Amino acid sequence: MGRILLILGIIFLIWMAYRFLNETWSERVREVEEKARKESQKSKPIQQVKACAYCKTHIPEDEGIYEQGLFFCSYQHLDHYLEHK
């Protein structure tokens, strides 16, 4: 009788360990998938086009410069704008 309980106990422990590992693993997989999804969203952003505060030329946001809450197409125009303000 004692032996059966011992075996049942071992099976129970293995089952618990399996469940724990399984949960930890699927959690990790979820995390990795989440990260990959965020990563791919980051690498494919929606291109925002903004107008330069100086020459009004529309260029992609990531190609311009933000300064004092204003957007500029180049450092030249940033300087011009700040000089002639």
Neighbours of 63 (CB within 10 A): 11
Smallest distance from Zn ion to CB 59, Å: 8
Smallest distance from Zn ion to CB 82, Å: 13
Structural contact between residues 8 and 16, judged by C-beta atoms closer than 8 angstroms: no
DSSP state of 2: H
Residues lying near Zn ion in the complex (CB under 5 A) are found at 52, 54-55, 73, 77
- Taking phi over 0 as left and psi of -120 to 50 as alpha, with beta for the rest, 31 belongs to alpha
Select 40 or 68, whichever has its Cβ closest to Zn ion: 68
Select 50 or 54, whichever has its Cβ closest to Zn ion: 54
Residue with the shortest CB distance to Zn ion: 52
